[in-house]
């Protein structure tokens, strides 16, 4: 009868909720069944915590898993489920080994679910499957490229006959089951949903404690039977700050922030004062450096990208794309393609869409946008023209000896031609033009004619 009940329950699971498959170190018991209206309906079971882990395993992800284990055990959770979708780790072997030990010795059962469909678990993080209490995998997911087996203290990492296949490549659900990567608790085709994973936890026993996550309820007349979750599921993700730094440690974001940050700082260099572009550029560059420091980055490729930006700037200042613009384009492409080293089974090179957006955006900015801005902003109204000499203006940023002034509602870089500084709000007169910088003197007490005075000095 017991086997018959288990069979009926599993059939209901497949029909209503999708299929399930798990690996466990405990005994395999199906969900308990009792008629509805039983007095024990009021029994409350502890919750099941779920931590969603996506992206490369960096210091933030590793720490968050350790914190989740500690928090779940303190909050009375029955188990912790790690929903993972990762293509590798960018932390050292010692840190990964410490994580494996922490999962293996956790005070509560820790489950690993590779999901949803299409998820991947590659590299050293895949070795979590050897130490987790219950594991599952969604149809369409893959696992593999685990690299050399780690050797954490007091914990054995053993995949049996599957080890060679997992090191050389990746396996889908069917192959992983055939090679014994998953020791089936229930005969099924894979854990399609997180709810199915919660069902699969039911009946797992560790240290004398059995998990109760689902029950089979039978109607009063015994004509219908359905599964009902009795454990509350508590989903959690990284905090906002942790998510920010985890995101910038992804190759695509770190790469784009690098290009945007440098481009905005160069743009700010050709404008007067320090504006929004400079602040945003500095923030983007800082976040990019944080991500590049965590990722396996090639230093020479970063240097090539920076040199390419300098080459762009050479032609920007003359307002015409020339030889150095071509050098900048080639350097940006080379640096972008070889910016990151690869992980086992995974290339960290940004996708083609990301590369097109990055390189194309930089070319558009430096070939069209900035030269046009420089020609409009500086060339026509200032260089080689004397019409501004004698114009009056107002100091925006104190000229001491350099600052910013407003002349005819336009802002310009300025320097005082005398030792006397001019505070913000003061009136000045333009007495000369040096490139794109105006030479000014205070209106009050200014010389009557600066050019005459310079001529007398030269004479």
pLDDT: which is higher, 322 or 337: 337
Q: What is the pLDDT of residue 61?
A: 93
What value does the mean pLDDT of the chain take? 79
* Over residues 15-34, mean pLDDT: 38
Interval 71-80: pLDDT, tens: 999 988 999 9
pLDDT: which is higher, 211 or 379: 211
Q: What is the pLDDT of residue 187?
A: 55
Interval 246-278: pLDDT, tens: 999 999 999 999 999 998 888 887 765 557 888
Q: What is the pLDDT of residue 308?
A: 93
Q: What is the pLDDT of residue 302?
A: 94
Lowest mean pLDDT among 47-56, 92-101, 134-143, 431-440: 431-440
Q: What is the pLDDT of residue 8?
A: 37
CA-closest candidate to residue 261, choices 291, 233, 238: 291
* Over residues 197-219, mean pLDDT: 79
**Cα distance between residue 130 and residue 438, in whole Å:** 70
Interval 222-240: pLDDT, tens: 655 566 777 888 888 888 8
Q: What is the pLDDT of residue 209?
A: 79
171's torsion region: left (phi>0), alpha (psi -120 to 50) or beta? beta
* Over residues 408-427, mean pLDDT: 81
Q: Is the pLDDT of residue 18 over 70?
A: no
pLDDT: which is higher, 297 or 444: 297
The secondary structure of 354-417 as a DSSP string is HHHHHHHHHHHIIIIIHHHHHIIIIITTTTT--TTTT-EEEEEE-BSSEEEEEETTEEEEEEES
Q: Does domain 392-458 have CATH number 3.40.190.10?
A: no
Q: How confident is the model at residue 391 (pLDDT cuts 50, 70, 90)?
A: confident
pLDDT: which is higher, 145 or 185: 145
Q: Is the pLDDT of residue 172 over 80?
A: yes
Q: How confident is the model at residue 184 (pLDDT cuts 50, 70, 90)?
A: low
Helix (H) or strand (E) holding 45: none
Q: Does domain 2-240 have CATH number 3.90.226.10?
A: yes
Q: What is the pLDDT of residue 225?
A: 58
Domain ranges of the chain: 2-240, 250-379, 392-458
């Amino acid at each position: 009868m017991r086997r018959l009940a288990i069979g009926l329950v599993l059939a209901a699971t497949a029909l209503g909720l999708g299929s399930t498959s798990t690996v466990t170190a405990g005994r395999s018991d199906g969900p308990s069944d009792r008629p509805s209206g039983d007095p024990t309906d009021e029994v409350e079971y502890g919750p099941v915590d779920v931590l969603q882990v996506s992206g490369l395993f960096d210091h933030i992800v590793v720490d968050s898993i350790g914190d989740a284990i500690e928090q779940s055990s303190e909050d009375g959770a029955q188990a912790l489920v790690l929903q993972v979708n990762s293509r590798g780790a960018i932390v050292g072997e010692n840190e990964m080994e410490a994580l494996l030990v922490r999962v293996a010795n956790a005070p509560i059962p820790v489950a690993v679910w590779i999901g949803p469909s299409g998820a991947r678990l590659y590299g050293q993080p895949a070795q979590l499957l050897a130490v987790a209490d219950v594991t599952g995998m969604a149809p369409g997911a893959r696992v593999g490229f685990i690299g050399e087996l780690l050797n954490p203290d007091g914990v054995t990492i053993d995949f049996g006959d599957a080890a060679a296949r997992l090191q050389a490549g990746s396996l889908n659900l069917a192959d992983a089951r055939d090679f014994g990567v998953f020791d089936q608790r229930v005969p099924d085709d894979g854990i399609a949903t997180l709810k199915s994973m919660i069902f699969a936890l039911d009946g797992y026993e560790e240290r004398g404690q059995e998990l109760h996550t689902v029950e089979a309820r039978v109607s009063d007349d015994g004509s219908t039977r359905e599964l009902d979750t009795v454990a509350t599921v508590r989903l959690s993700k990284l905090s906002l700050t942790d998510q920010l730094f985890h995101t910038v440690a992804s190759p695509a974001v770190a790469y784009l922030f690098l290009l945007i940050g440098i481009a905005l700082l160069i743009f700010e260099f050709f404008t007067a004062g320090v504006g929004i572009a400079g602040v945003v550029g500095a923030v983007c560059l800082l976040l990019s450096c944080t991500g590049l420091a965590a990722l396996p980055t090639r230093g020479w490729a970063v240097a090539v990208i920076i040199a390419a930006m300098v080459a762009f700037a050479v032609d920007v200042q003359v307002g015409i794309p020339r030889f150095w613009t071509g050098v900048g384009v080639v350097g940006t492409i080379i640096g972008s393609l070889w910016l990151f080293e690869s992980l086992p089974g995974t290339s960290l090179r940004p996708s083609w869409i990301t590369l097109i957006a990055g390189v194309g955006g930089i070319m558009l900015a430096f070939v069209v946008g900035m030269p046009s801005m420089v020609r409009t902003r500086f060339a026509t109204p200032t260089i080689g023209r004397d019409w501004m000499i004698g114009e009056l203006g107002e100091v925006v940023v104190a000229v001491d000896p350099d600052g910013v002034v407003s002349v005819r509602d336009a802002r310009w870089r300025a320097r005082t031609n005398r030792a006397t500084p001019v505070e913000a709000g003061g009136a000045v007169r333009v007495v000369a033009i040096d490139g794109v910088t105006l030479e000014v003197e205070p209106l009050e007490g200014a010389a009557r004619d600066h050019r005459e005075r310079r001529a007398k000095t030269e004479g």
